[in-house]
Amino acid sequence: MSKDIRIKKGLNINLVGAAEHTTSKAALSNVYAINLLDFYGVTPKLLVKEGGEVKAGEPLFYNKDNEEMLFVSPVSGELVEVIRGARRKVLMLKILADKDQKYLTHKALDPDKANAEEITAFLLQSGCWPFIKRRPYDLVANPKVAPKAIFISAYATAPLAADMDYVLQGKEQELQTALSALAKLTPGEIHVSVGKGSDSPFADLKGITLHRVSGPHPAGLVGTQINKIDPINKGEQVWTLSPQDLIIIGECLRTGKFNAERIVALAGSSIKEPKYYSTRIGAEIATFLYASGVNDKNFRVINGDVLTGSKTTPNGFLGFYNNTVTAIPEGDDYELFGWSKPVFDKISTTRALTFSWMLPRKTYDLNTNTNGEHRAFVVTGQYEEVFPLDIYPMQLLKACMVKDLDEMEQLGLYEVIPEDFSLTEFVCTSKQPHQQIIRDGLDLLYKEIG
Amino acid sequence: MSDKRLTLKKRLHILKHRYRGKKMAPAFNAFHTFLYSPNETTHSGAHVRAADDLKRTMNTVIMALIPVLLFSFFNTGYQHYAAIDAASGAPRELMLWENFLTWENFWLGLIKVLPLVIISYGVGLLVEFIFAVIKGHEVEEGYLVTGMLVPLIVPVDTPLWMLAVSVVFGVVIGKEVFGGTGMNILNPALTIRAFLFFAYPTWMSGDKVWVHGAVERAGTADAISGETILGYLAQNNTSEFTYSVSDMFFGFIPGSVGETSAFLILLGGLFLVFSKIASWRIMLSAVIGSLVMGLIFNGVVDAGWISETSTFYGLMSFDFWKHLIVGGLAFGIVYMATDPVTGSQTNRGKWIYGFLIGFISVMIRVFNPAYPEGVFLAILLMNVFAPTIDHYVIRGNVKRRMKRLKKAVIPAAVQEKEEDLKVETV
């Protein structure tokens, strides 16, 4: 079954430095790290002490709210450091990798023969469960609640994001296994979206509803697709997964091993040779960053794409959910009459002496400058142009800012997560922190209503 | 050259750090960011941002006002000298190069209009700076446009002290008490205009104030007329005015400083629509609204429901489309109704909001014998109603969501399980 989704509102941000379709093997990282901030809302309870030995796939900690939910090590080695923040909150676990990798092996599970409880238990035990995220609230899924449906976007429209068709090629078996397992966990459907006219490995898989998506960013965001396919209502939950994580889940089900290998796009104008690297979750970014060479002295490394990623450094580590690492120049410089002169080298949705509308296909070398100061909301109608969801974006943001729970519910906060507001944040004339506002709103709603 | 620039940049950078956290920091930053866009980088959310900021947005509106301002210099002079000629019994025939675009006209306009601009900006920005320093927030750009609008919507002979008082009132009561740019309910420029109108009505209406010199010459042997087209029409006096449609369209008529040239306002409006700074929805629907009201009035006249001696006959029988090229309607629609802060904020709301502005403007214009102009009142009225319009538009979206929720089958098992979970986590 196949349905088409056509998105009209949006904006493609074409940046310099898209990753070329070649994959190199990244140098082995000495140290791997699990950043606990990746698991928003999870309170960790450590299972291994500093200095303890773990195998790849062996649990490092569990979720305090659900003791069955285990988070595992991507490599075998020694837990050398537990980095703690304020009030001894655990922020990061660093593992010194062994030369020879030893795996903790589970008994493989055939999803076609297993029932829902067995599959859930397997995913929780093997450390695959945290790949499943839930909406509303953008948290790790709750294994006790069956979702209305599962949504997977295999179409990346975010700037410089990894090309899904490329990184997924040849992985049909793993994908099918993972999808068959997930199908048992929901009474609804599994909706997979691929680019229109793309050559996606999902095209021939069974047990899914395939959607062909076209249009500008955010057509590839799963939130956009959910809104067009089957919007979330109050009280409902849906799950979302990234297709690359399906490969890890599928492989784990087939072989019993948690294999943290992942193909990552290294992109951005600060990279000399942007291309793909095969590495592992938690690997030090420097192990492949410098292999491609860097152009700038003063650049920012981003775990993820430029709209939704988190800031890190070359000595940072690949995030649990990230398949893109972007490096762009920092923009910490002044610009003479930057507010009044004609602009040819930046992107804008207006035509106020900004000329990106003349060259829609040009690629731009954007830096991290805000291009202006933070102001109250003034301009109207600008978010709606790039926001295809059936939601009033500015009104929802304002409801979150004034902490009006009723308005937040009624205007559709259950349907969105911060990344859905990344594009409105990009175009915002008032430079308001949209994603943070939405995150704070979701936290409040979760706390008050749950 | 580049070396010098570097040192200036460096020096200002050092000064910025010296001022940081001090009382005067917002004042310094206002000048600093005027010269250099800041070196601020993104620290949460999207790492790259679009090129636009509020300064650029406001600057675009100012650019759209510059032709109107320049035209007003010439027209102020021209109307003054033309009125003198007319009073002496030798009415002028307009010739663009010979007697309109002359240095004499320009000079008179300059010395009359420029002080209005300077007072408007000087006083208004002073208030803004004082508030920014007291409240410790950055100086916001809203007044850059307001400051330019104000001199363009007042009669040319408005005494400067009156303007100064009104600007203080308008900025403080119209904007700052609500929290500054982005928070105000009423358009600040129109608040200033309304204050002037109600506080000093003799300087804001009548048949003297619209041409420079008419007030001071009144009652003397050199008296000249300072009446607008709408003024003549309100007195059912259509014989005395000799302006052609092209005069009205291009703006060679008396009126507030910058409101006369529908042609240049149209160009400015097209520029604002093209640059996506102002809402085409509001502009278009306001034009439609005014045409509809004008047509209704014309229809009433055609149907013979109103006698020629009626007070309203002159304005009601005025061709409906001509309302757009006389008075302040065009200026109000293009530059004031489209203010994003005080206007409707939803796209559907903008249609309703704009339409009602046009509709009510013409209605007030016709039915207000004391002062045959209604644009500023209509816009202020709709400013007040804009949040209500938006409320009902947004309710539509909410209703759709509620309807969907009612149809949705939320499995009872899910709810139960969730309750279990909550109990566990407590």
The CA-based dihedral angle spanning residues B383, B385, B388, B390, taken in that order and rounded to the nearest 10 degrees: -40
Quick check: is A349 in a domain?
no
Rg of chain A over Cα atoms, rounded to whole angstroms, equals 21
Pair A196, A218 in one domain: yes
Pair A182, A154 in one domain: yes
- B 378-417 residues inside an 8 A Cβ radius of A: 390, 394, 397-398, 400-402, 404-405, 408, 410-411, 413-415, 417
Contact A327, A271 (CB under 8 A): yes
Confidence of residue B425 (pLDDT cuts 50, 70, 90): very low
Pair A280, A244 in one domain: no
Distance CA A282, CA A412 (A): 35
Q: Averaged over B157-166, what is the pLDDT?
A: 95
Q: Averaged over B362-388, what is the pLDDT?
A: 90
Quick check: is A353 in a domain?
no
Q: Which of B47, B50, B400 sits opposite A306 (nearest CB)?
A: B47
Pair A213, A269 in one domain: no
Q: Which two tokens stand for residue B193?
A: 């205009």
Pair A67, A143 in one domain: no
Rg of chain B over Cα atoms, rounded to whole angstroms, equals 26
Please tell me the predicted confidence (pLDDT) of residue B407.
85
**Strand (E) or helix (H) holding B35:** helix B25-35
- A 152-171 residues inside an 8 A Cβ radius of B: 159
Asked whether residue B424 carries a pLDDT value surpassing 50, the answer given is no
Check CB contact of B274 with chain A, cutoff 8 Å.
yes
Please tell me the predicted confidence (pLDDT) of residue A16.
95
Pair A142, A219 in one domain: yes
Q: Which of B141, B279, B341 sits opposite A381 (nearest CB)?
A: B279
Question: Which of A298, A329, A360 is the C-terminal boundary of a domain?
Answer: A329
**Per-residue pLDDT reduced to its tens digit, B313-333:** 888 999 999 999 999 999 999
pTM above 0.90, yes or no: yes
Distance CA A391, CA A412 (A): 6
**Strand (E) or helix (H) holding A213:** strand A209-214
Burial B313-341 (b: 16+ CB within 10 A, else e): bbbbbbebebbbbbbbbbbbbbbbbbbbb
**Residue from B9, B42, B399 to probe the interface with A (highest A Cβ count within 10 Å):** B42
Interface contact B408-A372, CB threshold 8 A: no
Q: Averaged over B158-178, what is the pLDDT?
A: 95
Which residues of chain A are modeled with pLDDT < 70? 1-2
Counted domains in chain A: 4
Cα angle A63-A65-A69, degrees, rounded to a multiple of 5: 40
Q: What is the mean pLDDT of chain B?
A: 90
Check CB contact of B59 with chain A, cutoff 8 Å.
yes
ipTM of the complex: 0.92
Contact B289, B378 (CB under 8 A): no
Interface contact A306-B46, CB threshold 8 A: yes
Contact B170, B191 (CB under 8 A): yes
Contact A368, B132 (CB under 8 A): no
Question: Which of A76, A97, A118 is the C-terminal boundary of a domain?
Answer: A97
Quick check: is A336 in a domain?
no
Domain with A214, as residue range(s), is: 2-9+107-255
Confidence of residue B89 (pLDDT cuts 50, 70, 90): confident
Check CB contact of A101 with chain B, cutoff 8 Å.
no
Pair A213, A166 in one domain: yes
Looking at beta carbons, which residues of chain B come within 8 Å of A235?
A: 405, 408, 410, 414-415
Integer angstrom CA distances of residue A80 from A51, A97, A292, B243: 5, 10, 29, 89
Distance CA A355, CA B195 (A): 41
Cα angle A384-B333-B313, degrees, rounded to a multiple of 5: 140
Pair A205, A111 in one domain: yes
Pair A151, A173 in one domain: yes
Distance CA B21, CA B41 (A): 19
Asked whether residue B233 carries a pLDDT value surpassing 90, the answer given is no
Q: Return the bridge partners of A278, or none.
A: A25, A263
Quick check: is A341 in a domain?
no
Please tell me the predicted confidence (pLDDT) of residue B1.
46
DSSP A26: P
Q: Is B244 exposed, middle or buried (0-12, 13-18, 19+ CB in 10 A)?
A: exposed
Looking at beta carbons, which residues of chain B come within 8 Å of A356?
A: 51
**Per-residue pLDDT reduced to its tens digit, B286-309:** 999 999 999 999 999 999 898 888
Interface contact B411-A146, CB threshold 8 A: yes
Q: Is the pLDDT higher at B208 or at A42?
A: A42
Quick check: is A80 in a domain?
yes
Looking at beta carbons, which residues of chain A come within 8 Å of B183?
A: 376
Distance CA B414, CA B143 (A): 54
Quick check: is A381 in a domain?
yes
Pair A142, A224 in one domain: yes
Lowest mean pLDDT among A333-337, A426-430, B144-148, B411-415: B411-415
Contact A141, A129 (CB under 8 A): yes
Q: Assign B143 to helix, strand or coil.
A: helix
Pair A235, A139 in one domain: yes
Other Cβ atoms within 10 Å of A262 Cβ, number: 24
| Alpha helices, H only, A97-241 | 116-126, 164-168, 172-183, 222-229
Quick check: is A376 in a domain?
yes
**Per-residue pLDDT reduced to its tens digit, B13-47:** 988 988 888 888 999 999 999 999 999 999 889 99
Asked whether residue B198 carries a pLDDT value surpassing 70, the answer given is yes
Contact A302, A322 (CB under 8 A): no
Quick check: is A441 in a domain?
yes
Pair A74, A206 in one domain: no
Q: Averaged over B48-64, what is the pLDDT?
A: 95
Q: Which two tokens stand for residue A132?
A: 């499943």
Asked whether residue B426 carries a pLDDT value surpassing 60, the answer given is no
Check CB contact of A363 with chain B, cutoff 8 Å.
no
